[in-house]
Copies of this chain bind each other. A is one copy, B any other.
Amino acid sequence: MTKLIHAMIRVFDLDRSQAFYADAFGMAESHRLEFPTFDLVYLKDPASGFEIELTFNKDQTAPYTHGSGYGHVAFCTENLEEFREKLIGLGLEPGDIKSLSEGAVTRARFFFVSDPDGYRIEVLEQAGHYA
């Protein structure tokens, strides 16, 4: 009856954000709507079909703020170390690789990286539930 199709974030510098999501995660522009006071740009993830909608408000004069509620979007990838090195090669600053264990069982291996507006992005090793 319903289908989850995108997540929307507001960005301060549209070109910078588009370059980040294209270079780091291979997300290309799939759709754009332009209005006098704002633009909407949709970036599609080729693997899932899910999109990130970038809202660019043309009169925004200060960076957007982050509350304590919203967390992140997450990508999975086959080789966590290799992908992390790729991001470093792009001049980004991914955090250290960490693990989450339930008792003796490792449930997740992951790191975080921030996009140009400071939105957190989790990158998980493709394993178990994360595929």
Contact = CB atoms under 8 A, between A and B. Distances in A.
A9 B65 CA distance: 16
B67 A3 contact: no
Contacts of A5: 48, 74-76, 124, 130-131
Interface residues of A, number: 55
A88 to B, nearest CB: 15
Contact of A65 (B48, B68, B75, B102): B68
Contacts of A64: 67-69
A119 interface: yes
Contacts of A126: 3
Interface in A44-103: 45, 47-50, 52-53, 55, 64-78, 83, 100, 102
